[in-house]
Amino acid sequence: MKDNKVKRAIYLRIFTGLFAIYLLLMAGFSIYLIEQTKKVESLDFRAAAIQHKDTVEMVLQDYLDSHNRVNDIVNFRRDLAFRSHSFTFGGRELALYTGDYHLVYHTNYYWVCEFVEYTDGSRYYSGRAYLNPRDWFSEQEVAELEGYLSKHFLTGTLKPVQAGDLAGYSVDLDGFWLHQEMIIPRNIVVTPVYAERLDEEKNLIPGKWEEKERVVYVAKAGNPRDLPYFERGSINAFIFWHKAQLNKEKQVMLRNVVLDQEKLKQAIEQLKKSIEKWGGNQVLSERTRFLNYQYYMVLPYQKGITVLPDDSFYSDFWTVMAGEVDLWEKNAGTLAFVWLSCFLAFLVVALILANQTYRTYQKGKELERHRRELTYALAHDLKTPLSIISGYAQNLMENVRTEKREHYAVGIREKVEQMDGIIREMLDLFRLEAAVRPVVDQEAALGAICREVIGRYEELCRERSIEVLLEGDQIIKADPALIKRVIDNFFVNALAHTPNKGRIRICIWGDTLEFFNRGSHIPEEKLDEIWQPYRKADESRSTTKGTGLGLAIASRILEAHEFSYGARNSEDGVIFWFRFA
């Protein structure tokens, strides 16, 4: 229960901390991205404003007199009709003013119509003008006409699959009058157009007009007099389609902005400050909603500005452009992707870090338990020899049984050597766990090392009538001194648990070395514990004279070599092994 609470606390703290960092980083990134997008949009708007101003001025040149006054404003506006949709590209609006703030031209939502204005022999000269359908038709009729225009056969909105399918509609003027740059319609005729045949590339060719199915819309125009009348005309479907893609409410709002003369005057005042501060014209921006920014720029005619005696600016013409950008719409996809991907990355990192922290906590807890057990075991192992040494020393000091002084001295020496052995074993274990001693790989013959270890304990084995067998040999890459320590510890452990007249068999075969000793089994649940310091198969620590560190030291040496190892019960004994491949 306590571990579960600790685990929850670790996970909660790490997730909370990383989530706070995640929010901070993502908020900073989002602000940075939006600011950069705002700058980019401002630069794009500036470039578009300059480009459109140049276009307007290029057309304007044909309609100026020697005093830079417009001498034919009607034809100037008609000449811009074919370009009007480019001025509104990207949801912008444009207006042109004289130096005295009189409106010359502005973009609008009117339909652009084309017709043959006059002929010269066999040559036909086309003209363009505007049609405001709401002046001559009801709202329902306008909606129907817009529906037909959106399916004009030239735009390819409808996709016929075979000859005879509906390819779209043709929307044409059936008689109209021209009043300045505006058209007064008599009728508008809508004619269905069907696919007639397939071309060489299997594209359907629209070419069959069904006059019987045409729809006629009669305008509320009456019969204007003294105006030029034309028999036929058409509505430009491409320009209509482009304008239809725009947000009408937004365009009306921006159109009102460019038509605001007071805003124009204020912008010219801002232009003075901009030139004084930045040395050039700047785009004015204003936040309208959340992340919606409105851009506004006023540009003088041919970049020429006259400074009047009252320090005000004057130009023959002023071109004004306004636009609006939704920075959230521009960045929503990128931000959603980055936020989600980074959240998943932070989640994975948090899980890994929390899991590693909990494992570190568990390891620390295990080390603390291990430290307490080592301290207790060391105190236990040192208590007996210290008690004996204390008793012997007390007898020597009090001259008790002086004839045994040499016995007491020898006993003290033996116990000191025993304690020294215990302490040395513990120091060796600490060094191995701390990886203080580097492993030096050399070629070593396992058979020779085993024979050397067996020879060391030959006398003891003879006294206890224990038979020792060695089978096989192998050359390995390892640290000879450390491997000898492992084999020695394995042999001592086998010797300690082999009954008199028993047998120890050492087998080297393939990539494995095995120690078998005949004797009692190790409880299955303790086969993993015996590799820990002071862990024995039986808890009674007085049955053997070992320090309880031999197998722990052997395991650390084998782990340093990255050799696998283990112990298992066999039919009549126990097998300790390690694999050196």
Check residue 428 and give its pLDDT: 63
Give the domain ranges of the chain: 25-74+86-106+250-330, 111-247, 437-579
**Torsional sign, CA 303, 304, 309, 313:** negative
The pLDDT value given to residue 304: 84
pLDDT given at position 200 = 67
CATH 1.20.120 fits 25-74+86-106+250-330, yes or no: no
CA distance 261 to 268: 11
Dihedral sign (CA 54, 58, 59, 64): positive
For the chain, list residues with pLDDT below 50.
Answer: 539-544
> What is the tens place of the pLDDT at every residue in 390-420?
776 776 676 666 666 676 677 777 667 666 6
Predicted local distance difference test score (pLDDT) of residue 110: 94
Query: How does pLDDT run across 23-66, given as a tens digit for each residue?
Result: 999 999 999 999 999 999 999 999 999 999 999 999 999 999 98
pLDDT score for 541: 34
- pTM exceeds 0.75 for this model: no
Query: Which residues are within 8 A (CB) of 442 and not within 5 positions of it... i.e. 6 or more apart?
Result: 477, 478, 479, 480
pLDDT given at position 120: 85
Length in residues, the chain: 581
Return d(Cα 387, Cα 337) in angstroms, integer. Answer: 73
The CATH label, of 3.30.40.230, 3.30.565.10, 1.10.150.20, 3.30.70.980, for the domain at 437-579 is 3.30.565.10
3-state secondary structure 325-351: EEHHHHHHHHHHHHHHHHHHHHHHHHH
Strand partners for 163:
none
State the pLDDT at residue 272. 81
User: Which of helix, strand or coil describes residue 382?
Assistant: helix
